């Protein structure tokens, strides 16, 4: 089911980084996300709800939107 908040995400198990692209176009990297959290995020039907409850405000993050702009 498509999310109304999250456009795309990618998890890198070697660095434990979760990159999340929001429909707003903002791109963030969340650090030290455990593989089981990333797997649960991938498998959940409601990406936005899961993100808000299990990822946002729980992991150190950085805004890398401008690193990928034009």
Q: Where are the domains of the chain?
A: 6-67
Between 66 and 51, the more confident residue is 51
Computed from CA positions of residues 20, 30, 59, 63, in that sequence, does the dihedral angle turn out positive or negative?
A: negative
* Residue 1, pLDDT score: 54
Between 2 and 29, the more confident residue is 29
10-52 confidence digits (pLDDT tens): 999 999 999 999 999 999 999 999 999 999 999 999 999 999 9
What does pTM read for this prediction? 0.89
* Residue 33, pLDDT score: 98
Grade residue 2 by pLDDT with cuts at 50, 70 and 90.
low
From residue 2, give the alpha-carbon distance in Å to each of 8, 40, 57.
10, 16, 23
């Amino acid at each position: 089911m498509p999310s109304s908040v999250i456009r795309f995400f990618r998890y890198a198990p070697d660095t434990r980084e979760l990159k999340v692209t929001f429909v707003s176009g903002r791109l963030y990297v969340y650090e030290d996300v455990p593989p089981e959290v990333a797997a649960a995020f991938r498998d959940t039907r409601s990406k936005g709800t899961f993100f808000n409850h299990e990822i946002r405000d729980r992991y150190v993050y950085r805004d890398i939107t401008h690193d990928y702009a034009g």
